[in-house]
Amino acid sequence: MSDLVFYSASELAQGIRDRTFSATEVLEAHLAQIAQHNPALNAIVTVNESQARLQAQIADEAIATGESLGTLHGVPVTFKDLFETEGLRTTFGYQSLSQYIPSRDVSLVGRLRGAGAIVLGKTNLPKGGADFQTVSSVLGRTNNPWDLTRTPGGSTGGGCAAVAAGLSPLELGNDLGGSLRIPAHFCGVYSLKPTENRVVSSLRSNPCTLRHMISTGPVARSVQDLRLCLDLIEGPDGSEWNVSPVAQEEPMLQPLSNYRFAWCDRFDDLTADTQTQAALADLAHQLSVAGCTVERITPQSFNFTEAWETFGELCSCQLALSQSAPLRIAASSIAKILPSQWVLGGAIARGFVQGVKTDLQGYMELLTRRDRIITQMEQFLNQWDGWLCPVTPGAAFTHRQTWFPLRGALEVDDQMLPYWMWGLGFTSIFSLTGNPVVTLPLNTNALPIGVQLVGQRWQDRGLLAITQSLSDLTGGFQRPPGY
């Protein structure tokens, strides 16, 4: 199999411009990789084969005449199946939309096409993107390329599996509670959750349904590709007016030894397993040896339980508005009479239940509480260049039941943790606060382990510069065995 499938998007674009290889050669290599490995992975659920071949031919003809189509000239890319793409099936994981073919691109798809990218296909996700496993009644289950018996995570599980396995060099996904970060961690690739409102969401649903905490960002095998993609997708599009103009941020490149890092392996009683603890401790030691200031610390007086409950409440009160009136009324009635001590699943689950019955006054109080939590986080992060935290308590787990009442609990060493706390406990905090987070892989001898690198709001490019220095230390992406 051609090594082209493990070139970065930046390297592919440069090679096509330099005529080292053609866009057609790049596309055919990826189509061959898909034909060989996607049947076992089920990562790409719709392949845009004929149109992609036509676009690759156009890209090669443009190169021959000296024309540039943009920074991604001739590079194949994939999109999570939440983004509407003109002429290509887009299901959102719903049976009712299994044959839906949009007549237009959403703005972010259009921006990447406008930069010369070729739409290779759409990647799998759970129904509506609402799980951290990728299992769909419409599209089937996606498997982890490191171990087919394990989940790739979710909800951008198809995209992260595709990038890790060389089926795609670049994926665009989104993240409400960890949907970019968790599968990047499970599959051993990079992701960027930008600062909230730096990038438009480009979701089909009414933007008023999810006005808070959701971020759209890239998945890639290099930091350079995250930066390239951010340059293309950030900024308003004339429809989502809460998105800010492009931030004038010019980070100064510094030696790794100049940086100050906080790190931790637990949030209150939520702790990582022994393997993850060891990986983080080893990284902290390497940074210390490299001359960095490193301290094991979490924000003083930060109430993680309150933050988890606030996240859950803000999620569910937004999503409840998208449901039918009878269903909203029924759910709210049940929630009002359900004692909080009966709500199983930890603080996030209690917040989910509370949010269903939140009225307008409660919603306004919720936003005020969120602002206070953001302030606390920013005051802490102001002391550091980055905060290193676990993504989840452990590495990718074996496939589990995804029917809601049977999700149960997941293991942390010899303990069991409620499903939603296991999956979202470490990631939801930074969804609530809206901070930028890069997930980067740590080299291990077993399943991939990723780490969240958290920065101050609006310092996305600075965070990417720090990630590049860290990647030089950790070794960057490793391809899964057999690919």
CATH numeric code, 3-233: 3.90.1300.10
Catalytic residue flag (residue 80): yes
- Which one of 179, 215, 428, 431 is the catalytic residue? 179
pTM above 0.75, yes or no: yes
**Angle 11-462-280 (CA atoms, 0-180°, nearest 5)?**
85
Residue 341 has a pLDDT of 57
Residue found by looking up tokens 């887009």 in the block: 90
Q: How many residues does the chain have?
A: 483
Encoding tokens for residue 81? 């199946």
Catalytic residue flag (residue 357): no
- Which one of 10, 80, 127, 316 is the catalytic residue? 80
Instruction: Check if the beta carbon of residue 174 is closer than 8 Å to that of residue 216.
Output: yes
Could you report the average pLDDT of every consecutive run of 10 residues in the chain (483 residues)?
91 98 98 98 98 98 96 98 96 94 96 98 95 95 98 98 98 97 98 97 68 95 98 92 84 90 97 97 97 97 97 89 61 61 77 87 95 98 98 97 81 94 98 98 90 97 96 93 95
Contacts of 351 (CB under 8 A, 6+ apart): 308, 309, 310, 311, 312, 313, 314, 315, 316
- Which one of 136, 155, 222, 431 is the catalytic residue? 155
Catalytic residue flag (residue 179): yes
Domains in the chain: boundaries: 3-233, 259-298+384-474, 305-367
